[in-house]
Amino acid sequence: MAPMFPGGFMYQLSELLPPTRIVNLETTDKASALQRLLDVLAETRAIKERVAAEEAIMSREVLMSTGVGYGIAVPHARLGTVDEFACALGISQDGINYSSIIDDRPVKLVCMIVGPNGKHDEYLKILAMLMRFLKSERGKILAAYSLGEVHGFTLKYDTSEGGPSSSATRFGGAS
């Protein structure tokens, strides 16, 4: 987690979404894509109980699709078995039939987030940061030559107010 600043918490997207949690998705099936991202979170020990995470993610999808339009989906869940927030990003060049209620377009970017119960404000700020990132960097992500390049795009995003890296100058970093 990035340094705290007066009045709150701050998370860096590059820490929530390390290179080991960015993958290519070789499927056009929604359930398979979600399973792959759950596998990534389990393999990197971001989730302790994969079954609990799977049930939470899948039941959320039954309630309402997490496809948000623009070819983007953000499946998410809060669990008592998760200690820290974590993300996994799946990239599909072919697109996934995701049944988005917004535009029903194939989804090319699926960013899964899991987090602990009881941190509602942090959760909402992380979701907002992810949406800023995915909408702003969508074209670059899909055109990237490597997954490492994709991770590089995350470096300027955090949960402070505003757009990309409005806090970078506040903490002495480059913007």
Is residue 76 included in any domain, yes or no? yes
Task: Spell out the residues 6+ positions from residue 108 whose beta carbon is closer than 8 angstroms to its own.
Answer: 71, 72, 91, 92, 93, 95, 96, 138, 142
Nearest to 89 by CA among 63, 107, 69, 101: 107
Position 161 scores a pLDDT of 58
Give the global pTM: 0.85
Q: Round to whole Å and give the CA distance between 91 and 137.
A: 12
pLDDT, residue 8, reads 60
Greatest mean pLDDT range, 46-50, 89-93, 100-104: 89-93
User: What is the C-alpha separation between 49 and 3, in angstroms, rounded?
Assistant: 29
Angle between helices 30-43 and 50-63 (to 10 degrees): 150
Nearest to 26 by CA among 16, 18, 36, 39: 36
Assigned domain for 87 exists: yes
Q: Total domain count for the chain?
A: 1
Look at residue 9 and tell me if it is in a domain.
no
Determine, yes or no, domain membership for 116.
yes
Compute the residue count for the chain: 175
Residue 120 falls in the annotated catalytic set: no
- What percent of the chain has a predicted confidence (pLDDT) above 70? 87
CA angle 169, 170, 175 (to 5 degrees): 20
pLDDT at 172: 33
- Annotated catalytic residue: which of 21, 30, 76, 125? 76
Angle at 164 between CA 135 and CA 39, to 5 degrees: 60
Sign of the alpha-carbon torsion through 43, 49, 54, 57: negative
Q: Is residue 97 part of a domain?
A: yes
The pLDDT assigned to 162 comes to: 46
Structural domain includes residue 90: yes
Where in the sequence is the domain holding 81, given as residue range(s)?
Answer: 19-154
Classify residue 82: in a domain, yes or no: yes
Query: Who wins on pLDDT, 102 or 22?
Result: 22
Q: Is residue 32 part of a domain?
A: yes
CATH of the domain at 136: 3.40.930.10
Instruction: Categorize the per-residue pLDDT at 119 as very low, low, confident or very high, splitting at 50, 70 and 90.
Output: confident
